[in-house]
Amino acid sequence: MFINGASAISPLPVFDAVSAGVNVVPVLTQRGKVTEPDYGSLIDQKLIRRMSRIIRMGVATAMDALKQAGIQDPDAILTGTAYGCLEDTGIFLKRLVENKEEMLTPTAFIQSTHNTVGAQVALLLKCHSYNNTYVQRSHSFELSLMDARLWLTENPGSSVLVGAADELTDYSYALLERFAQFRNQWGGEGAAYFLVQSESNSASWARIEQIYTLFQPDLEEITAFATKLSEEQNGIDLLLSGMESGDVNADQYARIHGFIGEDIPVIHYKQYCGSYPTATAFACWLGAFWLKTGKVDAGSLQLNAPKRILIYQTDSMGYHSFILLKSC
């Protein structure tokens, strides 16, 4: 399937990358917060004020991806989110505790459900199409992409809006920090949406050649897949790796790098977007952007006319995923 429109909001300012370019440099922070654009041209001001950050950035990137692809009524809207609408969940929980279950108002509760982003996109578009939300930790984006691929197979000629969003809040930051999440890698957040279709066109960014997920695989399973991938694709130009600084899974990342070819250059994308479960959506955007522009430009690492970019991500809970992008 082809990415025929893509948009992202991230701690690294990338929202207007298509028109203004992007300076891919590591973001230096402890707690990453997305660089929000002026939403005015995409969403009604009155609506923006009522939206939490995850809804704003999700809806804006969805609208932008559609606009780029010239599609107003997608045949499916698929959203991945590991944590869902944490800000509104936190607000409602806090009031629930403080007011001892009395005198509560509905707004935060209404917007706390996991499907709010996808629902708001449908509502703004008046789109009655298939709409689904996947919430399987760091596979949430990949499972959405896999559904997009299946939907395109089932419905030839259709277009699917697919993306992911997660937000970092004061509460989640404090909790995840206690889980020792941000000791070496700063915490992040972000949203990215893609308009995907079975056919390419002049506006295409990249082709998604493979998506593969594994949950707590045996070493043989993952070895078999990585070996097969390297044999079939002896032209991977870049590994976009989810490895974090001081990553406890560094050996696993190194193993995969070894399988696909140790001499293949690697970029650790979480230095731009931070650590969060659906960060692969940002990596997918970044890889597609480099393939579209025909140049990998990340400070010290420059590559001309890249053909294939492999995104690999794993975590301590045993989730592994591969996304292989190819230039059009």
Contact 204, 294 (CB under 8 A): no
Q: How far apart are CA 5 and CA 304, in angstroms?
A: 22
Q: How far apart are CA 149 and CA 229, in angstroms?
A: 19
Query: Considering the complex, what minimum distance in angstroms separates the CB of residue 171 from another protein?
Result: 8
Instruction: Give the H/E segment covering residue 2.
Output: strand 2-9
Residue closer to another protein by CB (options 129, 245) is 129
Q: How far apart are CA 92 and CA 52, in angstroms?
A: 13
Residue closer to another protein by CB (options 46, 128) is 128
Residue closer to another protein by CB (options 20, 150) is 150
Q: How far apart are CA 190 and CA 178, in angstroms?
A: 21
Residue closer to another protein by CB (options 18, 47) is 47
Query: Considering the complex, what minimum distance in angstroms separates the CB of residue 132 from another protein?
Result: 6
Query: Considering the complex, what minimum distance in angstroms separates the CB of residue 98 from another protein?
Result: 8
Q: How far apart are CA 178 and CA 141, in angstroms?
A: 25
Q: How far apart are CA 319 and CA 6, in angstroms?
A: 25
Q: How far apart are CA 100 and CA 152, in angstroms?
A: 48
Conformation bin of residue 103: beta by default, left when phi > 0, alpha when psi is -120 to 50: left
Classify residue 132 as exposed, middle or buried by CB count within 10 Å of its CB (0-12, 13-18, 19+).
middle
Residue closer to another protein by CB (options 75, 209) is 75
Q: How far apart are CA 8 and CA 281, in angstroms?
A: 8
Residue closer to another protein by CB (options 217, 265) is 217
Give residues in contact with another protein (CB under 8 A): 77, 82-84, 92-94, 96-98, 100-102, 104-106, 109-116, 118-120, 122-123, 125-137, 139-140, 143, 147, 150, 153-154, 171, 174-175, 178-179, 213, 215-217, 317
Q: How far apart are CA 309 and CA 327, in angstroms?
A: 9
Residue closer to another protein by CB (options 83, 205) is 83
Query: Considering the complex, what minimum distance in angstroms separates the CB of residue 100 from another protein?
Result: 6
Query: Considering the complex, what minimum distance in angstroms separates the CB of residue 227 from another protein?
Result: 20
Query: Considering the complex, what minimum distance in angstroms separates the CB of residue 41 from another protein?
Result: 22
Residue closer to another protein by CB (options 26, 90) is 90
Query: Considering the complex, what minimum distance in angstroms separates the CB of residue 304 from another protein?
Result: 37
Q: Looking at the DSSP assignment, which residues form a beta bridge with residue 14? A: none
3-state DSSP assignment of residue 170: helix
Q: Looking at the DSSP assignment, which residues form a beta bridge with residue 190? A: 166
Among candidates 49, 54, 12, 10, which has minimal Cα distance to 169? 54
Query: Considering the complex, what minimum distance in angstroms separates the CB of residue 145 from another protein?
Result: 12
